[in-house]
Homo-oligomer: A and B are copies of this chain.
Amino acid sequence: MKIDHLGIAVESIEQALAFYRTALGLELTHTEVVAEQGVKVAMLPVGESRLELLEPTGSDTPVGKFLAKRGGGIHHICLGVDDLEAVLSRLKAQGIPLIDDKPRVGAEGCLVAFVHPKGTGGVLVELSQKQPQSLSSTEETSSAATHTV
């Protein structure tokens, strides 16, 4: 298991990049607009993980509502797992509340499922499993249609 990415809700990707890219020196490898989620995404790898800056395209979007309620900050953490079905079975057996009780196709062709913050101490946790046909991070530019940030 590893931290696959941290989703960070920001008012402005451009402003946030002044810190994460210009000052810290992280590389911006990819940006895209995921229209059906109402969000612009900027990805910056850090070690085996990456930061995903999430800027809403409007106030009536999931990330827009998050910002209005809590301000900028960590929106979710994503843990990469080898066998998502097996992990979800263990979570159900433990009575952990799930947002997705079975895997669905998410960003870059990965299988993903979200765990409810009630079961995690308040953190929105995404679980993600790479599939054989998952795109590598350098090939992901055409994945917008299934991107779920």
**Which residues of B lie under 8 Å from residue A48 when comparing CB positions?**
2, 47-48
Q: Are A18 and B123 in contact (CB under 8 A)?
A: no
**Which residues of B lie under 8 Å from residue A70 when comparing CB positions?**
70
| Known contacts A19-B94, A48-B47, A121-B10; is-contact A24 B87 (Cβ 8 Å) | yes
User: Once bound together, how far apart are the Cα atoms of A40 and B52, in whole Å?
Assistant: 30
What distance in Å separates the Cβ of A144 from its nearest Cβ neighbour in chain B?
Answer: 22
The count of residues in chain A whose C-beta lies closer than 8 Å to any C-beta of chain B is 45
> Does A11 lie at the interface of the complex (its beta carbon under 8 Å from any beta carbon of B)?
yes
> Does A77 lie at the interface of the complex (its beta carbon under 8 Å from any beta carbon of B)?
yes
> Does A41 lie at the interface of the complex (its beta carbon under 8 Å from any beta carbon of B)?
no
Q: Are B121 and A72 in contact (CB under 8 A)?
A: yes
Binding site for B on A (CB under 8 A): 1-3, 6, 8-12, 15-16, 18-20, 22-26, 46-49, 53, 70-74, 77, 79-80, 87, 90-91, 93-94, 96, 115, 117, 119-123
**14 A–B pairs (Cβ distance < 8 Å), ordered by A:** A1-B24, A1-B25, A3-B3, A3-B6, A18-B96, A19-B115, A23-B90, A23-B94, A23-B96, A24-B79, A24-B90, A25-B87, A72-B117, A73-B117
